[in-house]
Amino acid sequence: MLQEEYHVAYHATRNHKEGPRGLWKVGKWARSRGDIFSMIPVLKINSQLAESNEAKVNVLHDVFFPTLPEADLSDIALGPDAIPNRVWKLLLSGYSEFGDLLISIFDAYVYVSYNPRYFQESIIVTLRKGGPYDYHVPKSYRPIALMNTLGKLLEAVVAARISYAVEEHSLLPKTHLGSRKGISVDHAIQLILSEG
């Protein structure tokens, strides 16, 4: 009986002819039902029964929002130096003198246009491409270069400086929209409309 009443109230909200009256019917139905969980039958999980409302809520919560296991970070691949990015983050956030020293070194490298060979060392690993691939075919894999972390830091610094200089001095044409900070599809649409 309760489910039939629920369906009547639900369909009243979906029926456009009912208009606001449909919502009043649902409100009246909801107020007359102090216990919405009585519509849900006893739930069974791992041979345990959830009969009370609290038990049903807990079972539904555990099923829909399971606790995720801790990530296994033991197999994270590192570059030849075997130093994770986290080490540099901790050093840069904890010691301002270290950050100043690193900036001075990077400034010197940029000034003399020098990229140390050590920074360019990498280990190539192959990863499977996602999706339905035939993994007997070599093209189903993607090579990834794992570089020394200091080299990645220097590259990030140089890339940020180039990006800043390009934007600051308007070195790109207005029609170049790719990989630019603050540029979105909206800009492309606006450009097309203004040209037309």
How many independent structural domains does the chain possess? Answer: 2
For residue 73, tell me if it sits in a domain: no
Instruction: Write out pLDDT tens, residues 6-34.
Output: 555 555 445 545 555 555 565 665 566 65
Give the domain range for residue 170: 85-195
- Contact yes or no for 121/79 (Cβ under 8 A): yes
Instruction: Write out pLDDT tens, residues 89-107.
Output: 888 887 788 889 998 999 9
Element (H, E) at 124: strand 122-128
pLDDT tens by residue, the chain, 196 residues: 445 555 555 554 455 455 555 555 656 655 666 555 566 788 888 888 888 878 888 888 888 877 877 756 555 678 898 888 888 888 888 778 888 999 899 999 989 999 999 888 999 988 888 878 888 888 889 998 899 988 988 998 898 888 889 889 988 887 787 878 777 777 778 878 777 6
Q: Are residues 172 and 103 in the same domain?
A: yes
The amino acid present at 139, given as its one-letter code, is K
Q: Are residues 115 and 59 in the same domain?
A: no
pTM score of the predicted model: 0.50
Q: Are residues 105 and 181 in the same domain?
A: yes
Mind giving me the DSSP string for 152-181? HHHHHHHHHHHHHHHHHTT-S-TT--TT-T
The distance of Cα 115 from the centroid of its chain, to the nearest Å, equals 32
**Residue found under tokens 């009256």:** 21
Q: Are residues 110 and 144 in the same domain?
A: yes
Of 14, 29, 64, which residue is a domain's last? 64
For residue 123, tell me if it sits in a domain: yes
Q: Are residues 118 and 26 in the same domain?
A: no
DSSP state of 37: G
Is residue 54 packed enough to be buried (19+ CB in 10 Å), middle (13-18) or exposed (0-12)? exposed
